[in-house]
Structure 1
Amino acid sequence: MSYDGERIYLRFLKVEDATALLDLQYRNRAIFEEISASERSETFYTLEGQVALLERWNRAREEGKRYSFGIFLNNTHELLGEISLFELELNSTTKWIVGYVLDQVQNGKGYMSEALQLVLNFARKEAGIRRVEAGALPDNAGSIRVLRKAGFHEEDRQNVKIKGIWKEHMMFAVDLQ
């Protein structure tokens, strides 16, 4: 099943997407590693590592704990990025977080704004999620703009570990009533 936008569409990532996902991750490695809270070993940047990642994401989707979508261009079906909703438990409070990455050559074209709207519609209409949170580094103006455009509002600041270093993040949320 796909979720169609004006210029892009989303669909759940499958193991068959591992090669395209690896290419996306490898080409954008330096940028993605600066914003990702996930630990990325050298194994992550192998086909086997991406297959294992996709298998974990698909198991989590079956459990209703993560929904990971590829962002594809309508006319070429090229994988432009990835956007995920995932359940996180902090201090015995369950939260739904949205995280996303986009190929750096596609930045500034509005694709992520379109993808985020599609994901929020999925969250509200199909997954029954009522609130979504997100974090952004204060100097990541593009991501902050995408979040605000989608109706997220800043709630506070929080430290998040990136590559072993605690970095302040602006924390945003949107209620999906």
Structure 2
Amino acid sequence: MKYSAERIYVRFWKVEDASLLLDLQVRNREAIERTSASNRDDSYYSLEKQRALIESWDKKREEGIRYSFGIFLHTTDELVGEISLFEIILDSTPKWIVGYVTDILHQGKGYMSEALQCVLEFAKHETEITRIEAGAVPDNTGSIRVLQKAGFSACGSQSVPIQGTLKEHTMFAMDIQ
């Protein structure tokens, strides 16, 4: 499965991509940990853990509860980011969330806007997803701009635990049909 935009394409991760994913995670560790709700210790940043992570994403994709993609440049096949759709249960209500990271070496070039459009097309045509939500800390103007450009609308705020501290996030949502 591959969805293409002008400069990038997205595809599901393969186990052979584990070293690429590890490089992305290590290079962007500080930024990811500053915004991610998942706790990551040093063992997370190993090749074995990244292989296991990709394998778990494959299983979740088969179950229809997570779709994780690498974002690659058409011209060089270089990895420039990661984007995922995943289902969470909040207050017994299932919700689809989009999360993403652009490699620090490629931020500000519009690649994530293209990738998000690809993933929205995937969701619309390949899944039963009808609504996607996302959250961003208010000072993450780049992420907010990506969501707004894609057509997401602000729909309130929510406290999200980040590294043991609750941080207020502006929440965005989009209905897809």
Q: Specify the code of the residue in structure 1 equivalent to 2:34.
A: E
Q: Which residue of 2 aligns with 1:155?
A: 155
SS in 1 for 2:60: helix
Q: Which residue of 1 aligns with 2:84?
A: 84
Q: Which residue of 2 aligns with 1:125?
A: 125
Question: 1:71 offset after TM fit, Å?
Answer: 0.2
Superposed, 1:88-127 pairs within 5 Å as: 88-127=88-127
Q: Specify the code of the residue in structure 1 equivalent to 2:92.
A: S
SS in 2 for 1:68: strand
Q: Deviations over 1:23-49 (max 9, x none)?
A: 011011111110111111111100011
Superposed, 1:140-151 pairs within 5 Å as: 140-151=140-151
SS in 1 for 2:56: helix
Q: Which residue of 2 aligns with 1:72?
A: 72
Separation in 1 of the partners of 2:77 and 2:55? 22
Question: 1:128 offset after TM fit, Å?
Answer: 2.2
Unaligned 5+ segments in structure 2 are none
Q: Deviations over 1:112-147 (max 9, x none)?
A: 000000101111111121110000000000000000
Percent of aligned pairs with the same residue? Answer: 64
Report the number of matched residues.
Answer: 177
Separation in 2 of the partners of 1:12 and 1:32? 20
Separation in 1 of the partners of 2:140 and 2:160? 14
Separation in 2 of the partners of 1:175 and 1:148? 13
Separation in 2 of the partners of 1:16 and 1:79? 13
Q: Specify the code of the residue in structure 2 equivalent to 1:108.
A: G
Separation in 1 of the partners of 2:58 and 2:165? 29
Q: Deviations over 1:51-102 (max 9, x none)?
A: 1111111110010000000000101101111000001111110111000001
Separation in 2 of the partners of 1:162 and 1:29? 14
Q: Specify the code of the residue in structure 2 equivalent to 1:39.
A: N
Question: 1:160 offset after TM fit, Å?
Answer: 0.4
Question: 1:104 offset after TM fit, Å?
Answer: 1.0
SS in 2 for 1:171: strand
Which deviates more from structure 2 when the two are superposed, residues 142-151 or residues 125-134?
125-134
- Which TM-score applies when normalising by structure 2? 0.98
Q: Which residue of 1 aligns with 2:62?
A: 62
Q: Specify the code of the residue in structure 2 equivalent to 1:86.
A: F
Separation in 2 of the partners of 1:127 and 1:71? 20
RMSD: 0.7
Question: 1:14 offset after TM fit, Å?
Answer: 1.2
Q: Which residue of 2 aligns with 1:42?
A: 42
Q: Does 1:33 align with 2:26?
A: no
Q: Specify the code of the residue in structure 2 equivalent to 1:115.
A: A
